[in-house]
Structure 1
Amino acid sequence: MPKIDLYRNVHMGQRARLFALATELGAADVSHSGAAAEQAARCLAMTRELREHADHEDTFIHQLLRERAPEAADALEAEHVRLDAAFVALDERARTLTGIPAEDLPEAQHALYLALNEVISAYLAHLHAEETVAMPALWQYAGAEELGAVMAAFRASRTPEQSLTDLRRMLPALPPAPRAAIVRDVMAAAPHGQADRTLAAVSGTLSPDQRHRLHEDLGVPEVRAAG
């Protein structure tokens, strides 16, 4: 039975979306009406999401880590200092972008792009610490039942809408096999008669090729999800 990894899948989704945001911000034509405000809003939404994610980890994971492996918990707390400063700098850049005169927008856009990439740099280091220090420590000092209880408690804390958002953010970044395993479990837990609708909802952010592969792996004709 595979080890329970509390970080892997969600972190893969976060990396994919951070990299996409950086690429799209760098290439955006902010001279078009509303484009600067849209890019600023996307950056602010990302820092808000990452802060919420950190709160979830503190609530459901890091208390156990602090009890069982305090040195690993200390390593994560050290990462938070640089990370929090990067979030603040990005938020400040994003909030001022929409008030910039048109002739100054290209430089302001690039400054926002650099601030976003500073967040990504700090966040990648944070993810690396969680995945190579914190998770191995939890595997060593906490049992599978405890890790399963952590995962179950987090899932129970999410509304159906939040759970759907979590899946739609994460699934496009996963390989086919774990993606299909997750969706299969979600469909099995759906209310009676709602499995097809659930499949359509969770697969909405997948590319056409990813969606086709998912249906193949599940053994479900694609036309069923459209009904």
Structure 2
Amino acid sequence: MHTIHAARTPAPSHASTTTPRRADLYAAIHKALRRAMTDTLTRLGALDTEDPADLLRTLAQAEHLLDMLRSHLQHENDFIHTAIEARRPAGARRTADDHLEHQGSIAALQAELRTLRAAEPSMRPTLALRLYRHFALFVAENLQHMHIEETANNAALWALYDDEELHALHDRLVASIPPAEMMDTLRWMGPALSPQELAALLTDMQAKAPPAAFAAVMDLLRPLLDPGRWVQLTTALGLQAGQPARAAGVRA
């Protein structure tokens, strides 16, 4: 089972508070993943192993999260690591090596999920506690790993590419994601972003996506946001807060 690097020193931040913010390919998706991982970890800790419905629901969420993380690793390998190493050979080696370890950890956790799901009731508490502790170590490693990506890898991207190139890279990455996977990601991302970040994300989507697709995203997000934030968001997008997204006359 992969564990955290206890002696690892976090990379220093390369972003100055006095310089304009650069295009950040990691910020939004990492907020979504942090929310998904911590929510799933909390649910595993609170799991009622005597309640079959709670057991199936919680393990299904954990399995789905691991699938999402495996897909996320592949997106970063295919697009971000490839971009860095195209102009700086081996420039993404550290996080690429981490990804290989994470793949092994994901497989090990999925095996534990299957074991717990099939276990006799008397064995479930012990297996659930083991899974919870191993999952916690995996989350801890991922939190450290994402910090490295957001500092060292972003510094490389900013040195090697201008913002127009980074936005184009981001658009290619997003276009490669199947619609169902994108909606799953947005379910975690919407409540995880600041109001300004979410408004900026959806303003861009409003301008680029087909109206029906944008309306579906708004319908997904509405029950996930508290009423005050929903009003704030719809105001920023020029929509009426009390009107269903599909009837709000969204623009292409």
TM-score (norm 1): 0.88
Deviation at 1:110, TM superposition (A): 0.9
CA contact (8 A) 1:73 1:134 kept: yes
Cα–Cα, structure 1 residues 85 and 160, in superposed 2: closer, same or farther, change >3 Å?
A: closer
Q: 1:95 aligns with which of 111, 114, 121?
A: 114
**Identity over aligned pairs, percent:** 29
Q: Which residue of 2 aligns with 1:61?
A: 80
Matches of 1:37 and 1:224 in 2, distance apart? 36
Q: Spell out the pairing of 1:21-32 with structure 2 (5 A cutoff).
A: 21-32=40-51
Cα deviation, residue 208, structure 1: 3.6
CA distance in structure 2 between the aligned counterparts of 1:152 and 1:106, rounded to whole angstroms: 45
Which residue among 75, 82, 91 is the counterpart of 2:101? Answer: 82
- The corresponding residue for 1:187 is 206
Paired residue for 2:134? 115
Matched residue, 2:250 = none
Question: How far apart, in 2, do the equivalents of 1:139 and 1:194 lie?
Answer: 31
211-220 or 174-183, larger mean C-alpha shift: 211-220
**Contact 1:44/1:91 (8 A) holds in 2:** yes
After superposition, give the CA deviation of every residue in 1:180-216 in whole Å (9 maximum; x if it has no partner).
Answer: 1111222233445886555323444334443233224
1:222 aligns with 2:238: no
Is the deviation greater in 142-151 or in 157-166? 157-166
Give, as a single letter, the amino acid of the residue that structure 2 aligns with 1:122. Answer: E
Distance 2:77 2:125 in 1: 38
Letter in 1 for 2:69: L
Shift of 1:32: 0.9
Inter-partner Cα distance in structure 2 for 1:200 and 1:224:
10
Aligned-partner residue type, residue 186 of structure 1: M
CA pair 34-174 structure 1, distance change in 2 beyond 3 A: same
Paired residues in the alignment total 227
Structure 1 pair 204–164 and aligned structure 2 pair: CA distance change class (3 A): farther
Secondary structure of 1:72's counterpart equals coil
Closer, same or farther in 2 for the Cα pair 1:190/1:39, shift >3 Å? same
Match of 1:212 in 2: 231
* Structure-2 separation of matches of 1:58 and 1:195: 28
Shift of 1:140: 0.7
Tell me which of 173, 187, 197 is aligned to 1:178.
Answer: 197
Give the corresponding residue for 1:35: 54
- Given that 2:219 and 2:244 are in contact with CA atoms closer than 8 Å, whether structure 1 keeps it comes out as yes
RMSD: 2.3
- 2: distance between equivalents of 1:22 and 1:137? 32
- Which residue of structure 2 lines up, in the alignment, with residue 168 of structure 1? 187
What CA deviation, in whole Å up to 9, does each residue of 1:91-140 have, x standing for no partner? 11101002222222222111111121121012112211211111111101
- Give the secondary structure class of the aligned counterpart of 2:243: helix
Taking the aligned partners of 1:161 and 1:195, their CA distance within structure 2 comes to: 14
How many Å apart are 1:35 and its aligned residue? 2.5
- Cα distance in 2 for partners of 1:118, 1:84 equals 14
The residue number in structure 2 matching 1:106 is 125
* Equivalent pair of 1:86/1:115 in contact (CA under 8 Å): no
Q: Which runs of 5+ in 1 are unaligned?
A: none
1:2 deviates by 4.0
Question: Contact 1:68/1:138 (CA < 8 Å) preserved in 2?
Answer: no
Q: Is the Cα–Cα contact under 8 Å of residues 41 and 132 in structure 2 kept in the other structure?
A: yes
